[in-house]
Structure 1
């Protein structure tokens, strides 16, 4: 952090950067809390808005797709006009979107408001890691990113509980109203504590054509994948959607190599640590969302546990991660990232192997220990990996790097959900019980799991 900033606040640089981390953590907690709160309220929304559940799921889907489509764009904008500025105004956009959600009296207006909210969340997501990586560039970056990971887990843990209380006692709009005071306080604090932006002179033009191609291609790709299980992976809709989306994204790739000032700087992928870190994060999130989606089915349909007990057991994963993430970040500052990320992935691989030992009469404690093992592995992997990825990017491209780092994890989440549900349905077909399962649409199956899924995991 700059010495000028230290002079203005009258505090030493060491103190300043932890205040910045506190502000970033507040934004992280707000967005994480909102994601898990919204999941809990979907059945109530369906009843009060008199909308079918397959349409109400768009309250979740629109939010996720909008974030994926805008993350790299917000990252690029922040590199052009300043990371702190884009991040801080993200609080206002998020709070405004939350207010519109709270005032919604129709499903259509609520979905549009969620898109506005998602744009604010995109401003926060694409710059939170960039700001932390910049401020802690002289040391303790892994520890700081580990604390951010801990805040993510705490938001995921408290969201369902807080959401259930608010929806039950005050109605579903209150889950959005709660964001407004938090967003305003965080915005005011950010005006004073966030580091000043040092934007290069001679502002470069923005690539509107490339941004348009990316948004269209990414939305079509993720929308097709999200609905592939319901439409059928070999249906004309899915094959056509995949073909057209890939064509548009290839067009976008070629355009970015021709334009003088591209929206997405593909040169970042020439950096080995950035390229490998993003790829492993993508695969890790795909794998972990298989667990997040399927384990509630196993506990409720096979072990016969109640949704409440299932929720308590599922909490073992984020709770363990909340404890391990700051520790692994601190260790990565001391010993580097390679060993910790490798150990974390190996532990997750062992966890997947141990899942094969579970029986139809398993003790809930044993299942909880399995999930805690995944929390241990993911906690060891995420913080050092984020530190390695963000540390490898040039300082003037940290916004773009942060947007891409968040994007690959969102894509991993979508792929994990879609592929796991598809494999589950295929297995049911082979077992001859598909007639019973088809009583639940894909959206209902998603809603069943969504109490334990949190799009905010992408913050990690």
Structure 2
């Protein structure tokens, strides 16, 4: 049951596209930094660790707050949270667009802007998805959910292409002015949408202590990953960050287990299928790091401009849009286990192609273009079966909490994957020296002055292949072998 100001209101395309504009402000515009950050930093002059943190902090903040804001939307009003999300998107985009170059305020303003973009996504995604279930029904709801999904998957998959085109024509600041404009249009499109919230008796006391300890633990870990290569792995800053993270997470787990109304319901992880799907989802999203590294090595090692690098990713977006329904059909025929594993295997082949940095730039660009097609196809095969395996295995009264944790795993996986991959890549390439052992084992043809970039990218890709093998192991050990029954 839902409480709304209008029980007869029916959703329409104007409001739906308002939601999509909000999703694009996060998934399309905010994600352009994966491609444009190298060129953008030529003007801003940030340290490598600060720039890496600015790239990943949006996903980090979104992941940390998506469960919180989903609960607040149910309690205080979903339309209200969406409006807050649009306000955060506008302010965040303007902060980034107006970031001064090479000053004491450069890093604070850029990071605040990126964090606000993460808040925007955390507000708009759960609240808008909930409203699709309230104001749309039947086939209209299915169509609305499909278009909503295209706003997320389509936006993220074309972000590098869009960012490269914009930076080569209008400059990187124009991206975020347009982002603010999109958010304003979205805000106008949802005007008049009646409020909706969950029944008041379902509201529970918010677990502030649980959230704070989780927040401190995850943020400290992220700071350690992003900065340890620069601080030094055994420096006071690094050791303090990892110590705070470990202490906070241990306290969080100890206090939260078995607590009624806990920020994270650990009872969900007693379900083996949910646990395996969530872990593999976190790992697969962590491989987002290969995207930013492949684009970086093309620009830094191969001297390719951001627009050209962005064009190579077009197959990524097209294949996701073309094959995501194929993943649904594979689920219906084989159950979730096989398509999830097939998706991971396609992504492994993709990353193997991206790891071939020993080749000439032209050949590597061709392989990268093919790799992006395979990467998108693998994600499309994996996405629907994984989501279905995670949520359909839970009792109906736990599906809301399960979906929040599953989505949080997506965002946090991307945040940590970006941070770790950039830390490995930056830690090797900033030294300016190639890895002697790698050079002895593999013949790197062509220009030799960029070996530090090429070696760094190759090692980072190998790390991500290892992650993907862990994802396959998680699926093999937890997801049932049998076909999904039709009645499920």
Band the TM-score falls in, shorter-chain normalisation: 0.7 to 0.9
Structure 1 contact 37–163 (Cα < 8 Å) conserved: yes
Partner of 2:23: 28
Gaps of 5+ in 2: 429-433, 441-447, 461-488
Say whether 1:244 aligns with 2:244: yes
1:342 aligned residue: 341
| Distance in structure 1 (CA, Å) of the matches to 2:176 and 2:128 | 22
The 8 Å contact of residues 136 and 144 in structure 1, kept in 2 or not, is answered as yes
Q: Deviations over 1:157-179 (max 9, x none)?
A: 55455545655666654433323
Partner residue, 1:276: 276
- Asked if residue 406 in structure 1 is aligned to residue 442 in structure 2, the reply is no
- CA 79–383 in structure 1, closer or farther in 2 if over 3 Å, else same: same
Whole-angstrom CA distance in 2 between matches of 1:20 and 1:270: 39
How far did 1:219 drift?
0.6
Q: For residue 449 of structure 1, what is the aligned residue in structure 2?
A: none
Match of residue 203 from structure 1: 203
- In structure 1, the partner of 2:212 is 212
* Count of matched residue pairs: 437
Match of 1:385 in 2: 386
Shift of 1:184: 3.5
Correspondences of 1:289-438 after superposition (within 5 Å)? 289=288, 291-296=290-295, 308-329=307-328, 332=331, 337-352=336-351, 360-361=359-360, 362=363, 364-392=365-393, 400-421=401-422, 428=435, 430-431=437-438
Map 1:64-83 → 2, pairs under 5 A: 64-83=59-78
Q: Indicate conservation of the 8 Å contact 2:60/2:412, yes or no.
A: no
Shift of the alpha carbon at 1:280? 1.0
**Residue matched to 1:92:** 87
Deviations 1:323-347 (A, max 9, x none): 2124434664687544432332233
Deviation at 1:278, TM superposition (A): 0.9
In the superposition, the TM-score normalised over structure 2's length comes to: 0.71
In the TM superposition, residue 246 of structure 1 has moved relative to its aligned partner by 1.6
Provide the residue aligned with 2:151 in structure 1. Answer: 151
Question: How far is the alpha carbon of 1:245 from its aligned partner?
Answer: 0.5
Residues 423 and 256 of structure 1: CA distance in aligned 2, closer, same or farther (over 3 Å): same
The Cα shift of 1:206 comes to: 1.8
Q: Is the Cα contact below 8 Å between 1:104 and 1:110 reproduced in 2?
A: yes
Instruction: Return 209-218 or 234-243, whichever deviates more.
Output: 234-243
Q: Alpha-carbon deviations, 1:372-399, whole Å to 9, x = none?
A: 1222111111133234434455666655
Structure 2 CA distance for aligned equivalents of residues 145 and 393 of structure 1: 21
Q: 1:409 to 1:226 in 2, by over 3 A?
A: farther
Q: Find the aligned partners of 1:179 and 1:202 in 2 and give their Cα distance.
A: 36
Q: Output the CA distance in 1 between the equivalents of 2:284 and 2:69.
A: 24
Distance in 2 separating the partners of 1:63 and 1:264: 21
Cα distance in structure 1, aligned partners of 2:348 and 2:37 = 33
Q: Relative to 1, partners in 2 of residues 1:231 and 1:110: Cα closer, same or farther, differing over 3 Å?
A: closer
CA 189–180 in structure 1, closer or farther in 2 if over 3 Å, else same? same
Q: Which moved more, 1:349-358 or 1:62-71?
A: 349-358
Assess if the C-alpha contact under 8 Å between 2:217 and 2:245 holds in 1. Answer: yes
Q: 1:83 to 1:430 in 2, by over 3 A?
A: farther
CA distance in 1, matches of 2:45, 2:345: 47
Instruction: Give, in whole Å, the separation in 2 of the partners of 1:216 and 1:115.
Output: 15
| Alpha-carbon offset, residue 208 of structure 1 | 1.9
Indicate how the Cα distance of structure 1 residues 8 and 159 shifts in structure 2: closer, same or farther if over 3 A, else same: same
Bigger RCO of structures 1 and 2 (CA < 8 A, at least 6 apart)? 1
Confirm or deny that 1:178 pairs with 2:160.
no
| Deviation for aligned residue 1:18 | 7.6
Q: Whole-Å Cα distance in 2 between the matches of residues 129 and 312 of structure 1?
A: 31
Q: RMSD in angstroms over aligned alpha carbons? A: 4.5
Tell me, in whole angstroms, the C-alpha distance in 1 between the residues paired with 2:40 and 2:367: 35
| Greater displacement, 40-49 / 200-209 | 40-49
| TM alignment of 1:33-72, pairs within 5 A | 33-38=28-33, 42=37, 46=41, 55-72=50-67
The answer as to whether partners of 2:353 and 2:368 remain within 8 angstroms in 1 is no
CA 1:213–1:28 in 2, change beyond 3 Å: closer, same or farther? Answer: same
